[in-house]
Amino acid sequence: MSQKINRRKFLQTSAALAAASVAAPGSHASEMDQAIKAPAIGSNLSSPASLPAKKGPRVVIVGAGWSGLTMAKYLKKFASDFDVVLLDKREQFVSCPISNAWIANQVNLEFLTHSYVDAAKNNGYIFISATAIDLDRAGKTLYTTEGAIAYDYLVMAPGIDYDYARIGVEDPEVEQQLRMHYPAGFNSASEVMAIKHKIENFNGGTLLMTVPTGNYRCMAAPYERACMAAAMMKQRGVKGKILLLDGNNDIRIKSEGFRRAFSEYYADIIEYESSAGITDILLEDHEIETEFDNYQFDDAVIYPPIRASRVLENFGLADPASPQKEAAIDPYKYHLLDDEHVYVTGDSRSQPFSKSGNTAHSEAKYVAEVIVAHARGEEIAWRSPQTMCFSGVKTDPLESMSIIAFYKFNEHEKSFAFDRVHLMEKWSERSGQAGLAWAEGMFRDMFYS
């Protein structure tokens, strides 16, 4: 009883705090450390990377995810004279979108996996498999594990990292244990594969799943994953439950649809708790502590809050005042406030857009145009990115809900907010098929000409 009263009070307070905490994009600019770093690496890595001589303005893109792949393709499309170099620390692309459907065997791994070599060959740019390790903005040089690359424009599209410190995990040993035993599955195919194995081998008891606070990657995906895992448990006749602990005071998106799916299909499997932000994790006891309760679990998928990829901070680009350690960029043109030759896009951007693949894809086409216009001394009008997200709730056949939305700057709130939202919370097989067709279209666009 007393717990319920506490929880309600907490919901009211946190809603008020959330409303008060909307900040203008780039509003921390004046506090930003604008110093330009000198490279601090060994001389062998300072020698030039093996690349053909550039024939036009060179754009180097760090990160061949949804943002970087789209950017590389459309830069070449809009300006064939540009010399575009895309690099990624990974050897091949495995999609995060649709990976929940893969977990539940609705698509195979081949559907998600694509070749960077094909993408570069088909679209006329250079791909190198390398890790960006340092940046000299004064000398316009990026240092990578394959050598130094001089640029005219640099696009940072490195995605996200997890921020375990925001759930009180400061000990690197504990963080490693969490990454290994209870991976979040929101940043690499390896993690998602570990989760797939976990769910396939789960034979009963409590499977804990968590939803972080903040602007985390893919708002709907943790709820979708709970549905997909529950569908698998149902199919295998596993006697157990999924405890879905949400740090937020309600389901963040498609809330009516997910609530209905939880009660219509998975009432005996999914137990959903809102306002259950993690305050401590007792690994040896298999226990998680939240502000109101402690919960025991047998296995877990723990999704901590996220931040912009660490490489932004390592390069001195992160705004120290930004809670998710994003860079201070022009909210309309995406370049650093103090450097019109360095851009930040995709999930590491600072605008509060949905961190989703479709957002990154539509935004990258626009930013490619911005960069080409800048090189030609022109300007183009701002275009909103488009968020489009399908969420599976039922399998065999896959049935999904969807949302499509744009953004508009709200002068009163001094931030961007959803605009022209088309929300379909009634799931269907047709929408399930549309989601797969959407992904196929995206892969075709990023990997073929």
Ligand X SMILES: Cc1cc2nc3c(=O)[nH]c(=O)nc-3n(C[C@H](O)[C@H](O)[C@H](O)COP(=O)(O)OP(=O)(O)OC[C@H]3O[C@@H](n4cnc5c(N)ncnc54)[C@H](O)[C@@H]3O)c2cc1C
Residues that bind ligand X (CB under 6 A): 62-68, 87-90, 96-97, 99-100, 131-132, 157-159, 186, 217-218, 221, 309, 311, 346-347, 355-358, 360, 389-390
The answer to whether the CB of 427 falls within 8 A of the CB of 399 is yes
- For residue 309, the SS3 value is coil
Distance in Å, CB of 76 to ligand X, minimum: 17
Q: Identify the sign of the CA torsion 147, 148, 154, 159.
A: positive
Distance in Å, CB of 347 to ligand X, minimum: 4
**Which residue, judged by CB position, is nearest to ligand X in the bound state?**
65
User: Position of tokens 């992904």?
Assistant: 439
Distance in Å, CB of 225 to ligand X, minimum: 6
What is the rounded distance in angstroms from the CA atom of residue 299 to the CA atom of residue 59?
A: 45
C-beta closer to ligand X: residue 87 or 290:
87
Element (H, E) at 378: none
Distance in Å, CB of 222 to ligand X, minimum: 8
Residues contacting 384, CB < 8 A, separation 6+: 406, 407, 408, 419
Distance in Å, CB of 254 to ligand X, minimum: 11
C-beta closer to ligand X: residue 46 or 131:
131
Burial of 269 (0-12, 13-18, 19+ CB in 10 A): buried
Distance in Å, CB of 57 to ligand X, minimum: 21
Amino acid, res. 129: S
Distance in Å, CB of 432 to ligand X, minimum: 12
What is the rounded distance in angstroms from the CA atom of residue 357 to the CA atom of residue 305?
A: 18
DSSP class of 329: B
- For residue 67, the SS3 value is helix
Distance in Å, CB of 187 to ligand X, minimum: 7
C-beta closer to ligand X: residue 277 or 346:
346
Residue of 336, 2, 423, 277 whose CA lies nearest to 156: 336
C-beta closer to ligand X: residue 148 or 275:
148
C-beta closer to ligand X: residue 99 or 275:
99
Distances, alpha carbon 86 to alpha carbons 164, 286, 328, 430, in Å: 29, 43, 23, 36
C-beta closer to ligand X: residue 57 or 68:
68
What is the rounded distance in angstroms from the CA atom of residue 310 to the CA atom of residue 295?
A: 31
What is the rounded distance in angstroms from the CA atom of residue 240 to the CA atom of residue 208?
A: 11
C-beta closer to ligand X: residue 13 or 190:
190
Distance in Å, CB of 103 to ligand X, minimum: 8
C-beta closer to ligand X: residue 64 or 107:
64
Distance in Å, CB of 61 to ligand X, minimum: 9
Distance in Å, CB of 310 to ligand X, minimum: 8
C-beta closer to ligand X: residue 270 or 439:
439
C-beta closer to ligand X: residue 275 or 327:
327
- For residue 354, the SS3 value is coil
What is the rounded distance in angstroms from the CA atom of residue 369 to the CA atom of residue 286?
A: 51
User: Position of tokens 């809900």?
Assistant: 401
C-beta closer to ligand X: residue 88 or 330:
88
Distance in Å, CB of 14 to ligand X, minimum: 25
HSE-up of residue 88 (Cα within 13 Å, Cβ side): 24
What is the rounded distance in angstroms from the CA atom of residue 406 to the CA atom of residue 76?
A: 26
Which structure tokens are listed for 170?
Answer: 């400061």
- For residue 260, the SS3 value is helix
What is the rounded distance in angstroms from the CA atom of residue 287 to the CA atom of residue 103?
A: 25
Residue of 246, 268, 250, 269 whose CA lies nearest to 259: 250
Q: What angle do CA 299, 300, 306 make, to 5 degrees?
A: 165
C-beta closer to ligand X: residue 68 or 257:
68
